[in-house]
Structure 1
């Protein structure tokens, strides 16, 4: 009798269990979605940001001593001596405040002000063959000497002559004291539609330093056996710099092949030639893991993704025939945009800003050792 009564009493409740369970599942799913929506770095709602390191989710790369403060910027007057014009290229010296909003930074190329300068920035490529081109007068107390170089270690000779002379490094590397990369990505405040440029051609490559003995040229020679590639530059089709972007934008893919393989050495070949042109970059340089420090993993194709150039070519032809699959390489652009600041004055003004946050005064025993010590494997 008791069991019969129990069954009668529980029957209505049991009939509700499937619906109740379904409601619980839906509520749990809604909670997870809301939680992920509030988290900018969540893969659930923002997969692009999750695929990038925190260092790039900002308006521009910061120095390793912390973010910049407008108050601190305005409180310290600095004189920066431009020791040589980089590659002989002159630039305006009065743009720090009116162009970049960095007040109190005074750039000068007047060597007579050497003893009054807070820092001297020395571009390596202009002094690398003659040590006598470095400042010869006694260094004023606590004056910073900044070693400025945007070339890779493979193209940076005679670094040993710099031993125990410099205080700060200023390169494309993200472990530099002053980071000056070739480009970076910036998170958009609001999602935006990206219109892929109209494509009528398949693969392009612009190269100025043609050397048939290099690995990148050898890979190109093998790849062109299987797909058409238009090549521009010396000994090939002429292409003026002013027409580079508009020309490359007509191609679906661009060969962003670096001239040497080093940590963080990812140059305008990717940031300008490919990404600003709206072409999918096929990259050859440091390992994929290094590229993924700065780019979404589905924004580029690495030559190491395929065991041979023939298989790479087959994949590119597959993307060419499948527009939906090709467009997948542009999904990240709704949340991120490419930034590449140009102009030598930009580098020097940003260096001045970083000097306000410089660490305690130091001497670098060996620039050469530092520049090569962090090479592969990438950490």
Structure 2
């Protein structure tokens, strides 16, 4: 099976045909060479690279039964021109759990044996890493109220510097990490939770979809949701309580005796590798009349 990447996602190049899981790409050949278009079994379109104009899509007829796969890791709020894809797409590939090809930002795996998780040494209270600072966003508005009641160290563009190589080590020193999403949508739970919080060994304080949505993916006692509190002050008061109560704080790590968080190490490669298995197990050939109806 030949799978054509119509564009490199955001121009980021990576090694093809070198999947991390043994056999994950068995029977598939990945290429970014458009000369394979007429013989490819499937073409993957990264939404943000083709959504501005139909001229960014193939300009010659689609070969019969060729799958067109829509790939997107951005939320609906940051996915312009979805109507552009009406009656063009055969399969979806995204963080949404009901995608044809599910490509989450992270997931949990079971430990083979029960073992105690060693909580990293904590010397600081709370951190937040943010690159897209939008004053009108829900997360920035919430932070502006929350910071009146507690100390929060903010890293990112035009704020405290956080080296990428030492990021997890730095964040591991904090008791809490604010995994605030840039927009609130079903299943939109990103590396802010998986890598910045869970892999760093900080308790995530989340702002995103409702609590029940998070509980589809992580235990209910593994995180704190801002919606659990009537106000930012209520949240701050609770975090201060946990800060002073070692036993209650450590309850947020009990689940780690049985489960371990995974965040993809080489994201683009990992996501595209999932396409091989997904395409081999694809449902009967059909075309989606409207991405907007499904995705938003």
* TM-score where L is the length of structure 2: 0.97
Q: Does 1:353 align with 2:268?
A: no
Q: Is the 8 A contact 2:17 2:25 kept in 1?
A: no
> In the TM superposition, what whole-angstrom CA distance separates every residue of 1:182-235 from its partner, at most 9, and x where no partner exists?
111111121122100000000000000012222211111111111111000112
Q: Does 1:336 align with 2:259?
A: yes
Q: How many residues align?
A: 295
Against the structure 1 CA distance between its residues 325 and 170, is the aligned structure 2 distance closer, same or farther, given a 3 Å change threshold?
Answer: same
| CA distance in 1: counterparts of 2:83 and 2:131, whole angstroms | 29
Q: Is the 8 A contact 1:256 1:274 kept in 2?
A: yes
Partner of 1:241, secondary structure, is coil
Q: Tell which has more relative contact order, 1 or 2 (C-alpha 8 A, sep 6+).
A: 2
Against the structure 1 CA distance between its residues 278 and 97, is the aligned structure 2 distance closer, same or farther, given a 3 Å change threshold?
Answer: closer
| CA distance in 1: counterparts of 2:23 and 2:165, whole angstroms | 24
Question: Deviation at 1:103?
Answer: 1.4
Partner of 2:38, secondary structure, is helix
| CA distance in 2: counterparts of 1:299 and 1:81, whole angstroms | 39
> In the TM superposition, what whole-angstrom CA distance separates every residue of 1:298-324 from its partner, at most 9, and x where no partner exists?
100000111011111111111011100
**Is there any run of 5+ residues in structure 1 with no aligned partner, and where?**
1-77, 373-379
| Correspondence 1:136-285 to 2 at 5 A | 136-285=59-208
Aligned to 1:302: 225
Greater gyration radius? 1
Partner of 2:284, secondary structure, is coil
> In the TM superposition, what whole-angstrom CA distance separates every residue of 1:24-45 from its partner, at most 9, and x where no partner exists?
xxxxxxxxxxxxxxxxxxxxxx
Point out the more displaced range, 187-196 or 201-210: 187-196
| CA distance in 2: counterparts of 1:370 and 1:274, whole angstroms | 30
| CA distance in 2: counterparts of 1:367 and 1:221, whole angstroms | 35
Aligned to 2:10: 87
> In the TM superposition, what whole-angstrom CA distance separates every residue of 1:164-184 from its partner, at most 9, and x where no partner exists?
111000010011100000111
Deviation >6 Å, runs of 4+: none
Against the structure 1 CA distance between its residues 176 and 195, is the aligned structure 2 distance closer, same or farther, given a 3 Å change threshold?
Answer: same
Partner of 2:155, secondary structure, is strand
* TM-score where L is the length of structure 1: 0.76
Query: Could you say what the CA RMSD is over the residues aligned between the two structures, in angstroms?
Result: 1.2
Aligned to 1:321: 244
| CA distance in 1: counterparts of 2:250 and 2:89, whole angstroms | 47
Q: Please identify which structure carries the higher helix content.
A: 1
